[in-house]
Structure 1
C-alpha cells in the first residue's frame, strides 16, 4: 500500500500540468482523506484535487482485475462502486471512481473536505439489515383471524 504522502505528491506533480486548464480550481489543494487499509479490498480513500474528487482505491497486488482503462467493481458492505483501472510507474495499479469534476462548486478546501468526509462516512458505513415490520397487537390478531394486516 502506498503512503498517503506518496499519492498526494504524485497528484501535486500532475497538478503542475493541470494548472492552466479551465477545470482547475486554484482555491483547492491535493489531499487524500481517510486513506486506510480495508481487509480483503486493499486501501481506500477520497482524493481531492483542484480538478476532481475521486474515490481512490488501491487493490491488493494479488487481485485479478481487468487491464488498465477497463472497469472493475469495488464491493464494500455499503454497496458496489464501479471504478476505472489505472496503472502508473510511480503508483502501480489503482482505480478511481469520479465523485465530482470539475471542482468549481467548491469555494475552498474546507468545503471540498466536508464533501469528502461525508462520502467516506457513507462508503464505510455498514449496511443495515432490513428491519422487520413493526407488528402491533391489533395487526397480529387481525392476521391470526385471517383479516388484512
Structure 2
C-alpha cells in the first residue's frame, strides 16, 4: 500500500499542470482523506484535488482485476461502487470513482473535507442486521451524494 504522502505528492505534480484551467479551484488543495487499509479490499480514501473529488482505491497486489482503463467493482458492506482502473509507474495499480467534478461549488478546503468525510462515513458504514444493501445494482454517484447531503437514498 502506498502512503498517503506519496499519493498526495503525485497529484500535487498534476495540479501544477492544471492550475490555469477553468475547472481548477484555487481555494482547494490536494488531500487524501481517510486513507486506510480495509480488510479484504486493499486501501481506500477520498482524494480531494482543486479539479475533482474521487474515491481512491488501491486493491491488493494479488487481486485479479481487468486491465487499466477498464471498470472494476469495489464491494463494501454498504454497497458496490464502480471504479476505473489505472496503472502508474509511481503509484502502481489503483482505481478511482468520480464523486465530484469540477469543484467550483466548494468555497474552501473545509467544505470539501466535510463532504469527503461524509462520503467516507457512508461507504464504510456496516449495515444493521436485516438491512443489507441491495446487490441488484451499483450505488450511483448521484445516490451516494444525495445520501451524503441528507436526502433520501
Within 5 Å, which residues of 2 pair with 1:22-41? 22-41=22-41
Q: Which residue of 2 aligns with 1:46?
A: 46
TM-score, normalised via structure 1 length: 0.86
Deviation at 1:20, TM superposition (A): 1.1
Stretches of structure 2 lacking an aligned partner (at least 5 in a row): 132-153
> What TM-score do you get using the length of structure 2 for normalisation?
0.84
Partner of 1:70 in structure 2?
Answer: 70
Query: Residue deviations 1:100-121, cap 9 Å, x none?
Result: 0000000000000000000010
CA offset digits 1:1-29 (Å, max 9, x no partner): 00000000000000011111110000000
Structure-to-structure mapping, 1:1-149, within 5 angstroms: 1-130=1-130
How far 1:127 sits from its partner (Å)? 1.4
Select the structure of larger CA radius of gyration. 1
Provide Cα deviations, 1:22-59, integer angstroms capped at 9, x if missing partner. Answer: 10000000000000001110000000000000000000
Q: Tell me the SS of whatever aligns to 1:6.
A: helix
**How many aligned positions are there?**
131
- The runs of 4+ residues in structure 1 deviating greater than 6 Å are none
Residue deviations 1:89-148, cap 9 Å, x none? 1000000000000000000000000000000100110012336xxxxxxxxxxxxxxxxx
Aligned to 1:137: none
Q: RMSD of the alignment, in Å?
A: 0.8
Q: Tell me, in whole angstroms, the C-alpha distance in 1 between the residues paired with 2:102 and 2:128.
A: 33
* Cα distance in structure 2, aligned partners of 1:114 and 1:15: 21
Residue matched to 2:136: none
